[in-house]
Amino acid sequence: MQIFTIEIEKDENFYVAKCKEHSNCFTQGKTIEEAIHNIKEVLELILEVKKPKLKVILKDELINAI
């Protein structure tokens, strides 16, 4: 089973989730949890992967804020 690396960063209003392995897989959410949920849906729809496994990386600014 492939594990997808997801990088999350904060823009002005949303958290943006990007898949490092597939540049066309990205989304956003109002919360980190919503961004993670949304990127799972993107991977399922675009790559046709059922229940994708994720390795989530928070950008430095988010780590410092948590």
Cα–Cα distance between 21 and 49 in angstroms, integer?
14
Tally of domains within the chain? 1
Q: What is the arithmetic mean of pLDDT over 32-45?
A: 96
Supply 5's token pair.
């690396």
Backbone dihedral region of 55: left (phi > 0), alpha (psi from -120 to 50 degrees) or beta? beta
CATH of the domain at 14: 3.30.160
Q: With 80 as the cut, is the pLDDT of residue 1 above it?
A: no
Least confidently predicted of 4-13, 19-28, 57-66: 57-66
Give this prediction's pTM: 0.86
Q: Which residues span the domain enclosing 53?
A: 3-65
